[in-house]
Amino acid sequence: MKKFIIPASVLLLPGVAFAAALRDVFNGLGRAVDTAAPVAVALGVLYFFWGLASYIFIPDDPEKREHSRNIMIWAVIALFLVIFVWGLARVLENTLGINPSETTTR
């Protein structure tokens, strides 16, 4: 039995270290998403309102109105994607039991 336990523990040791490193990576990604998402949402909202203001205040030029409409469309798409990624990160954190504010000790 002793002949089996020692080689098995030596073979499993890198897996334990890899799991700790993987948890640190997920914690770092979670913190990055939690930090960047509100900034990206704020920039997307500002970009949308920039397009809306240029759409309202330049009613004479159809080319500039089309450009302003495209700005608003892309801002809405960007907001959707940012909020989707933010929500996906939250779902993965809750599913995998990861807490980004938690620090691991080695």
Tell me what pLDDT residue 68 has: 93
Per-residue tokens: 5: 């336990």
Tell me what pLDDT residue 100 has: 60
Q: What is the mean pLDDT of the chain?
A: 80
* Residue 102 CB contacts under 8 Å (≥ 6 apart), including other chains: 27
* Residue 43 CB contacts under 8 Å (≥ 6 apart), including other chains: none
Query: What is the identity of the amino acid at 73?
Result: I
Burial of 75 (0-12, 13-18, 19+ CB in 10 A): buried
Q: What is the rounded distance in angstroms from the CA atom of residue 37 to the CA atom of residue 76?
A: 15
Beta-carbon neighbour count of residue 30 at 10 Å?
20
Tell me what pLDDT residue 54 has: 92
| Each residue's pLDDT tens digit, 3-14 | 666 666 656 566
Q: What is the rounded distance in angstroms from the CA atom of residue 63 to the CA atom of residue 94?
A: 47
| Each residue's pLDDT tens digit, 26-73 | 777 777 877 888 898 999 999 999 999 999 998 888 899 999 999 999
Q: Is the pLDDT of residue 1 over 60?
A: no
